[in-house]
Every structure is written in C-alpha cells, then in structure tokens.
C-alpha cells in the first residue's frame, strides 16, 4: 500500500516549517517566480510539483523527513504482521486440537469467528471516530520527534496496521487448517449446553453458508451431517452410524474462516488505507502553509528597493513631521488624566475652557465634552482645540475614535493640536515619545498636529557652553 498522500503532507509540512527561517520577501519572490514559470509552461501548480521544483533548486538528497517518520510505522506494521502470523497458527492449532477421544466442536469455531468480526468492526469504528485507546502505549514507544501532522493520522495508521495484522492472522490460520486436514484425521461435531435441536442448528449453519452455496455446494452442511455429528457431554462410546462423516465439516469450517475472518480483514484493510489517504489529502488542503503559498503565487512581488533592511534590522520608525508651535486657542481637553494636578501656564489662561475626557470618563461623558467644545467653537472664527496627553503613554484606539467623532461634531475648519506632556509638565518629552505622537497625528490627517510648549525660561548660553 502506497503512502503518496502521507509523504506529500509530511514533506510539505516540513518545508513550510523550515521556510519560517527565511525572510518573507525572499519567499514571495521565489514562489511568485515558480507560479510564473508554471504559467509559461501551461502547468497547474501543485504542492507535489512545488516540492520537486525546490528540491531541484537546492540539490538536496538523502532520506526525507517522510521516510524517517514513516519508518516507525513500518516497524509497527511489521510487528503486527509477525504477531498475526504467529497467533493465526497457534489459534488454529488450539481450535483443531484433537486427541482421538473427543470431537472438535464446530460451535466453538463459530463463536471465535464471530469474535473476530466484532474486533474487526471495532477497529474500523475507532479509526473513523478518531479514538485512540492505545495512545499511552504508542506515546511511550514511538519516536517523540515525529511531525505534528503525523499525529493527526495516528488513528488511521493504527487501524491499517491492525487490519493488515488481522489479514496475516486469517491467512496463516487458513493455511494451518488446510495442513491439518491433510496430515491428520480430524473429527468434527457440534454440541451446546442449550437445548437446541438439529433443525435449528441446521438453519443456523445454512444461513452462515449462504454466501458460498453457489460457489462450493459441498461446503454447505445438510441435515444428515448435522444430525449424525451431534454429540453430548455425557456420551460414552461411539454411537455414530458413519464415522467418515465426522470429517465432512472441514469444507464448511474453511469457508467460514475465509468469508468471515479473511475477507472482512482484506476489505477493511483497503477501506482503512483509503480513509488514511483521504484524511492526509484533506489535511494538506487545509494546511495553513498551503494558503500562504497560494497567496504568494497569486500576488505580484513588489520591489521597494529597500535592500539594506533584512530580518535583523529594526523597522524604520522615524517620521518626516516636526513639532509645530502652540496655536492660539482657549479650548483645552485633558485626555485620560493628563495635566493633573494643574496645567502649564502656557495652556491655562483666565478665559480658557478646560474640559476632561477619556480615562475613567464614560462614553456619555466624552460625548458631552465634545458637544460643549462644539458649542464653544461655533462662535470662533478660526477654531482650534488643544488636546493634552501624557507623553509616556502610547496613543490608543480610544483616543483616535474620540478625535474622529470630534471631527463630525466640530466646525469643518477646526484644527486640533496634540500636546504630549511629561510628568512635570514643563520639560520637553524624549525623542522616542515624541515620535509616536508625531506618527499618530500624521495618520489622523492634515487638520491634526503635534505641538510643543514654549520654553518657560530663555536658554542660558553659559549653561549651553556657547561662551
């Protein structure tokens, strides 16, 4: 049984995990070029062809990750086959054990065959349900470095190994039965503790033999055979009219073993292998790496010319904006507790309207603050609002929503100046704190600006070392 779908899944998953170490720009160019080559050759890109293409480019050979991962399951399957062969021989020898003073009970053989059918059905059901009752044992002895994608296939892999082992069990059991028929004179019979007459038992065995009555009529017991070969627990002596008929049960036993032990295992092994391959294809189609690969193949690569930046460099966070001077405004909004306990003198005049928003204020309070500011700005020719923030706190989405809502309520010609304050309120914030507020106002639009307070005292040239 081939494992093409499983090998493709494991190799694709391994390649995607190793691609995490590569820069995204490199992966985009590589996969986009592959898609364009397939388009020129009139080929449909596929994971298998993509892996073969990358293998030709890299020139790597040797044992793949799929070979190493599936090696453990090959050993498990080999163990099931060997155990099945040994148990098949021993089981059939036990069922056919005959000393000459007793008969081989066909009823026991039928009960054992029924048990085998139950075990085969249970193995198939646990695979489809994804139940793993043997998981602790497999975790202890299996390779701990096996890929994660293979762990999702363990119920199907174990079911296939169990069915193949059961197929080996049935084959060796049937061969043992045929050998025993040749080398020994087996005496079959039937008996049960229940009060069952010959007619009921005849109906049972003929129903069981229905699948092959057209193929081998001699393997279907008749009324004479059933009546002649019945024995009782306290029977003494040989009361059989025709001892030769004691061996006529073996064709029935052989066909029962073939149709209810061997063939079900063969059919279920094929179903288990098909289910395994189907689930492997489904996992590959739902693999997140396949979605990313398809996106890279379909999206044109954009060359920015910024070749000096790579994965080890920090992103460029500088901005072209500069701090603007403080505008003339008598409307100040303190955001999230900024400006406490008091505002700087440059912002707090006798006619200044000071409002507060954000922080512990509710949405209704923020809306009321915007309405008060809107009523105040309606009577101003060149309206401007100063929003005071804390420089060490990064801009939040709540503040952005607040300012965007303000643009809907305030006059269209309004300008907003954002003033990030330090703890003291007099010193200029550090550069890295100013940069985040500059980028924030850039994103909001041209009506927003980040401003700085005028110095409280003129600069002293002696302290600056200029004289």
Q: Tell if the pTM clears 0.75, that is, is over it.
A: no
Structural domains counted in the chain: 2
Kindly give the pairing relationship between strand 353-357 and strand 331-335: parallel
CA distance 327 to 453: 10
Q: Which two tokens stand for residue 224?
A: 């004479």
In a domain, 276, yes or no: yes
In a domain, 193, yes or no: yes
CA distance 148 to 134: 18
Same domain, residue pair 280 and 379: no
CA distance 426 to 158: 73
Per-residue pLDDT of the chain (467 residues; tens, 9 = 90+): 567 888 888 888 888 888 888 888 888 888 888 888 888 888 888 888 888 888 887 765 555 677 777 888 888 899 999 999 999 999 999 999 876 667 888 999 999 999 999 999 999 998 888 877 776 666 665 555 667 778 888 889 989 999 999 999 999 999 999 999 999 888 888 888 776 678 888 999 999 999 998 888 888 998 888 888 887 655 545 444 566 678 889 999 999 999 999 999 999 999 999 999 999 999 988 888 888 888 888 887 555 545 445 555 555 555 555 777 777 888 888 888 887 777 887 777 777 888 888 888 888 888 888 888 888 888 787 788 888 888 888 888 888 888 888 888 888 888 888 888 887 666 778 887 888 888 888 888 777 888 777 764 444 444 444 43
Please give the residue range of the domain that contains residue 428.
Answer: 331-456
**Is the separation of the CB atoms in 377 and 410 below 8 Å?**
yes
CATH of the domain at 391: 3.40.50
Same domain, residue pair 103 and 210: yes
Q: How many CB atoms lie within 10 A of CB 424?
A: 7
CA distance 359 to 138: 55
User: What is the chain's alpha carbon radius of gyration, rounded to the nearest angstrom?
Assistant: 42
Can you tell me which residue has the tokens 């505002």?
343
Nearest to 307 by CA among 1, 25, 16, 88: 25
Same domain, residue pair 116 and 234: yes
User: How many residues does the structure list for the chain?
Assistant: 467
**Is the separation of the CB atoms in 229 and 188 below 8 Å?**
yes
Nearest to 134 by CA among 122, 117, 146: 122
Classify the C-alpha dihedral 44-49-54-58 as positive or negative: negative
Same domain, residue pair 234 and 358: no
Same domain, residue pair 114 and 175: yes
CA distance 374 to 52: 66
Residue 62 is given by DSSP the state: S
């Amino acid at each position: 049984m081939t494992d093409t779908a499983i090998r493709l899944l494991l190799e694709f998953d391994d390649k995607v995990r190793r691609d995490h170490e590569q820069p995204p720009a490199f992966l985009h160019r590589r996969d986009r070029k592959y898609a364009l080559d397939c388009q020129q050759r009139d080929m449909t890109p596929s994971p298998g062809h993509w892996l073969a293409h990358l293998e030709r480019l890299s020139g790597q050979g040797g044992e793949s990750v799929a070979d190493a991962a599936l090696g453990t399951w090959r050993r498990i399957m080999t163990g099931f086959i060997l155990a099945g062969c040994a148990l098949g021989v021993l089981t059939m020898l036990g069922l056919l054990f005959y000393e000459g003073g007793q008969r081989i009970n066909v009823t026991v053989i039928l009960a054992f065959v029924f048990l085998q059918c139950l075990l085969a059905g249970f193995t198939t059901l646990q695979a489809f349900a994804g139940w793993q009752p043997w998981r602790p044992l497999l975790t202890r002895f299996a390779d701990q470095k096996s890929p994660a994608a293979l762990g999702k296939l363990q119920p199907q892999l174990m079911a296939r190994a169990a069915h193949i082992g059961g197929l080996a069990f049935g084959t060796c059991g049937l061969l043992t039965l045929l050998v025993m028929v040749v080398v020994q004179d087996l005496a079959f019979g039937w008996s049960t503790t229940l009060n069952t007459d010959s007619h009921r038992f005849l109906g049972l065995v003929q129903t069981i033999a229905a699948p092959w009555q057209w193929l081998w009529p001699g393997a279907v017991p008749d009324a004479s055979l059933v009546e002649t070969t019945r024995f009782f627990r306290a029977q003494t002596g040989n009361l059989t009219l025709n001892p030769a008929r004691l061996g006529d049960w073996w064709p029935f036993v052989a066909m029962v073993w073939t149709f209810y032990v061997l063939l079900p295992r063969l059919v279920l092994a094929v179903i288990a292998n098909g289910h395994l391959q189907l689930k492997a294809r489904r996992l590959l189609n739902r693999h997140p790496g396949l979605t990313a690969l398809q996106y890279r193949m379909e999206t044109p690569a954009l060359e920015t010319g910024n070749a000096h930046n790579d994965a080890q460099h920090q992103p460029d966070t500088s901005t072209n904006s500069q701090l603007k001077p403080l505008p003339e405004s008598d409307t100040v909004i303190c955001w999230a507790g900024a400006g406490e306990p008091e505002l700087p003198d440059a912002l707090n005049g006798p006619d200044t309207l000071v409002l507060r928003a954000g922080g512990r204020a509710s949405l209704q309070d923020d809306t009321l603050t915007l309405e008060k500011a809107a009523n105040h700005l309606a009577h101003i020719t060149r309206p401007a609002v100063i929003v005071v923030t804390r420089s060490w706190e990064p801009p939040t989405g709540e503040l952005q929503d607040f300012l965007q809502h303000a643009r809907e309520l305030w006059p269209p010609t309004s300008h907003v100046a954002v003033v990030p304050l330090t703890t003291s309120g007099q010193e200029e914030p550090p550069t890295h704190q100013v940069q985040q507020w500059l980028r924030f106002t850039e994103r909001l639009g041209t009506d927003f600006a980040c401003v700085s307070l005028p110095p409280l005292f003129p600069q002293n040239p002696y302290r600056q070392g200029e004289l």
